[in-house]
Amino acid sequence: MHQIVYNHHSLLQQIPFNFSDEHGYHFAEQQVFDDMNATADAFPTPNDSIESGTRQIRDAIREAIVERRLSPGTKLSESDVGNLFNVSRTLARAALQALSYEGLVNVEKNRGAFVAYPSPEEARQIFAARRLVEPGILKEAAAKITPSQIQHLKQLLLEEGRLMGERGQSARRAEIKASGDFHLMLASISGNLIMQRFMEELVARSSLVIALYGQSSVSSCGHAEHGDIIDAISRKDIDTACHLMLHHISHIEADLDLRERKSFGLKEAFEQ
């Protein structure tokens, strides 16, 4: 397998990374490169198709956004992305364009690409979409779920709980990912590939919103609420499971500070 070598020094000079989660922790720039290097073998060889290479880069950047290692507003230039993944600027551009279609990256003329910075109104729309979509996904999943899949969900819940009790940057990022994976696994169990891809976008965009507007020191995606949903599914009490899912999504949104903030000029900002 082709070994990808990331140009760390160049990127640290050029990219204003500022990784944080809703706790306010800020992660060292080097950590994101360590995480991406750990999965380097997953990237394509020079003989692989452009489409495959684009997908791998897109998924790696999306994962960094979901885990809140890449903050809203972070610049993602084609040259930096190309150097990081050891690919051409053409391939980097295709990956960034794919992310822009998902609403995770904004491409601005004459300025380049940036991790999206959702507005308060966009944040409300994201959670409104989740309230419309996720109960339907849950119903489809509950109709098809097997005992082994229920056990898999419970194992995911145990892992999420274990990570909540650990300290450190890697444990916190893994907890965030496990929390989102609960929702993605339900989408996968539903068997609807279109809805599964849609949920991947919604979970990623929710992570951006929580990174910007989250207030609580409690995990943004309640561990106990996940457990209640699994219990209801196990009992075949689908109505209760859907009610719990709606409450769960509303609980996440309620923790956001989506108040509009007045913008001041330089002088006025320091007079406040």
What pLDDT score was predicted for residue 33? 44
SS3 107: strand
Each as own residue / partner, the long-range contacts of residues 97-101 (CB below 8 Å, 24 or more positions apart, any chain) are 98/54, 98/55, 98/58, 99/58, 99/61, 99/62
User: CA torsion sign, 62 to 63 to 68 to 70?
Assistant: negative
What pLDDT score was predicted for residue 110? 85
Distance CA 83, CA 92 (A): 9
Residues 6+ apart with CB under 8 A from 236: 142
pLDDT in tens, 139-189: 999 999 999 999 999 998 888 878 777 776 676 677 777 788 899 999 999
Residue 19 φ then ψ, to 5°: -85, 135
Q: Is 30 exposed, middle or buried (0-12, 13-18, 19+ CB in 10 A)?
A: exposed
Q: Any idea where the domains of the chain sit in the sequence?
A: 8-115, 120-254
> Read out DSSP for 173-216?
HHHHHHHHHHHHHHHHHHT-HHHHHHHHHHHHHHHHHHHHHB--
CATH number of 8-115: 1.10.10.10
Distance CA 98, CA 75 (A): 16
What pLDDT score was predicted for residue 18? 38
Q: Decide the pairing of beta strands 105-108 and 26-27.
A: unpaired
**Cβ atoms of 240 and 263 closer than 8 Å:** no
pTM: 0.71
Residue 107 φ then ψ, to 5°: -105, 115
CATH number of 120-254: 1.20.120.530
pLDDT in tens, 210-266: 888 887 644 545 678 999 999 999 999 999 999 999 999 999 899 898 887 665 565
Q: Please, which residues bridge with residue 213 across strands?
A: none
pLDDT in tens, 131-150: 999 999 999 999 999 999 99
User: CA torsion sign, 206 to 211 to 212 to 216?
Assistant: positive
